[in-house]
Amino acid sequence: MTVLASFEAELRTCWDVFRDPVGAPDRTPRHTIGEVSAASGLTAHTLRWYERIGLLDAVDRSASGQRRYSDADLHRLAFLGRLRLTGMPVADMLRYVELAREGERTSADRRDLLLAHREAVRQQIADLHATLAVLDHKIDVYNGRLAQCARSH
């Protein structure tokens, strides 16, 4: 096996990198916007917007001007997706990214931002558990009524 063939065999697909963003990411710009959109569930418009507002660093371009994303871009998108899933506002996500760009000296600030957000997520989870308990109670009430109706007919 040639060195190139060995290297290509080790490359992970766009989908694999996005779904399991572990290890040191390959920084080679090789994924098209269509591949990244399919893997991430984000539209091409959203990906371009993320780049425009600074959530993503400037994306490399092919010789024909088409965007080419690296595994590092996919790692960031996967993390940003998790933050969005928890309801983090885009402004806070942008603050986190800006801090990350400043390097290790902002580690404490990034940690604090994530700690505050984690507390908000925990509160959301508690609220959802309380709401689920109300739903479960209502379902039990209706199950009891339906059972009573079935016995009386």
pTM for this structure? 0.79
Q: Are 49 and 103 in the same domain?
A: no
Q: Model confidence over 29-85: pLDDT tens digits?
A: 999 999 999 999 999 999 999 999 999 999 999 999 999 999 999 999 999 999 999
- Backbone phi and psi for residue 132, each to the nearest 5 degrees, phi listed first: -65, -40
Residue 2 maps to a domain: no
Could you write out the DSSP letters of every residue in 27-87? ----EEHHHHHHHH---HHHHHHHHHHTSSPPPEE-TTS-EEE-HHHHHHHHHHHHHHHTT
Amino acid identity of residue 29, one-letter, is: P
Domain boundary among 65, 85, 105: 85
Residue-range definition of the domain harbouring residue 57: 10-85
- 123, 41, 52: which is closest to 84 by C-alpha? 41
Q: Model confidence over 17-31: pLDDT tens digits?
A: 888 888 888 899 999
40 and 81 Cβ atoms separated by less than 8 Å: yes
Locus of tokens 């766009």: 14
Q: Which tokens belong to 134?
A: 């109300």
Q: Are 39 and 64 in the same domain?
A: yes
- Backbone phi and psi for residue 68, each to the nearest 5 degrees, phi listed first: -135, 120
Residue 133 maps to a domain: yes
Q: Model confidence over 87-123: pLDDT tens digits?
A: 999 999 999 999 999 999 999 999 999 999 999 999 9
